[in-house]
């Protein structure tokens, strides 16, 4: 089992999100951005036509891929972001900026996987992609916030979530497999489910790497050290900033 930087382990090397809550995040509830009485509506954000589905392979860096997927999706899609960008421009800098020693970047000591969702988001903000971001602290707030855009999730990943049903659903049952960062791209209010875009290639799940999860199950994941980051101001730099990696 891969050893993560906080001393925990995961049954799958792709599951390396490490939970971390910054108390200051309480000052940035996405509910503060809603209009009075605003209710959730069904919405499904999409990739630009012809976009590849990212595949992190059998490595960690899910935080890098989850954040990069948000950048690639509407409403402000950034073109030409790939697995190399996710790994080297988001994941490695996030590891260098978090509060844990080592990482998976070249020269890191000790060599460990994993980082926090907030660190990946802060890296993207520093690169000039985000003007502001907020957090959903309840399932109802998550559902409502998706009218703004996709949400970057950090959740506990259970063994049953590795397999998608014929109807496209995952369920948080079985044993804990690890932690995962994944993008929430839509909600169907009438049918009561969310749509998630994974970073495990186009053959995983349904509809090119996607799956569904019920609103009830999402509420359970958020209550279990879950995170939901909503970008409330997206920016589109004229040139995608690439930071040369320095060991």
Lowest mean pLDDT among 7-21, 32-46, 147-161, 202-216: 7-21
Residue 146 has pLDDT above 80, yes or no: yes
Residue 75 has pLDDT above 80, yes or no: yes
Average the pLDDT over 157-164 and give the result.
Answer: 96
DSSP string, 193-238: EEEEE-SB-TTSTBTTTEEEEEHHHHHHHHHTT-EEEEEEEE---S
Yes or no: say if 232 and 30 are a contact pair by the CB < 8 Å rule.
Answer: yes
Looking at residue 245, its pLDDT comes to: 63
Residue 8 has pLDDT above 80, yes or no: no
Looking at residue 1, its pLDDT comes to: 56
Q: What's the fold here for domain 42-47+55-233? A: Cathepsin B; Chain A (3.90.70)
Q: In 3D, which of 61, 79, 62, 63 has the Cα closest to residue 71?
A: 79
pLDDT, tens only, 9-42: 789 999 999 999 999 999 999 999 999 999 999 9
DSSP string, 70-128: HHHSTTSPPTT--HHHIIIIIIHHHHHHSSSS-BSSTT-SSB-B-B-HHHHHHHHHHTT
Distance from chain centroid for Cα 152:
4
Q: Degrees (nearest 5) of the Cα angle 225, 180, 211? A: 110
pLDDT, tens only, 213-234: 999 999 999 999 999 999 999 9
Encoding tokens for residue 84?
A: 């190399």
Global model pTM greater than 0.85: yes
Looking at residue 246, its pLDDT comes to: 54
pLDDT band at 111 (very low <50, low <70, confident <90, very high): confident
């Amino acid at each position: 089992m891969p050893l993560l930087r906080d001393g925990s382990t995961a049954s799958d090397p792709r599951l390396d999100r490490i939970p971390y809550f910054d108390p200051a995040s309480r000052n940035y509830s996405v509910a503060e951005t809603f209009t009075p009485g605003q209710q959730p509506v069904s919405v499904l954000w999409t990739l630009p036509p012809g976009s590849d589905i990212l595949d992190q392979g059998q490595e960690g860096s899910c935080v890098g891929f989850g954040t990069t997927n948000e950048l690639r999706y509407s409403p402000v899609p950034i073109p030409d972001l790939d697995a190399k960008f996710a790994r080297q421009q988001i994941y490695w800098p996030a590891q260098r900026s978090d509060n844990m020693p080592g990482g998976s970047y070249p020269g890191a000591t000790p060599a460990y996987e994993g980082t926090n969702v907030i660190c990946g988001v802060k890296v993207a903000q520093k690169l000039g992609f985000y003007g502001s971001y907020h957090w959903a602290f309840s399932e109802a707030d998550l559902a409502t916030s998706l009218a703004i855009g996709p949400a970057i999730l950090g959740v506990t990943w259970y063994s049953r979530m590795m397999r998608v049903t014929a109807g496209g659903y995952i369920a948080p049952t079985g044993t804990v497999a690890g932690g995962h960062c994944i993008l929430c791209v839509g909600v169907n209010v009438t049918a009561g489910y969310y749509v998630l875009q994974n970073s495990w290639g186009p053959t995983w799940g349904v509809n090119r790497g996607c799956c569904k999860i019920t609103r009830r199950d999402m509420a359970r994941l958020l209550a279990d050290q879950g995170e939901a980051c909503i970008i409330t101001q997206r920016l589109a730099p004229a040139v995608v900033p690439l930071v040369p990696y320095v060991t």
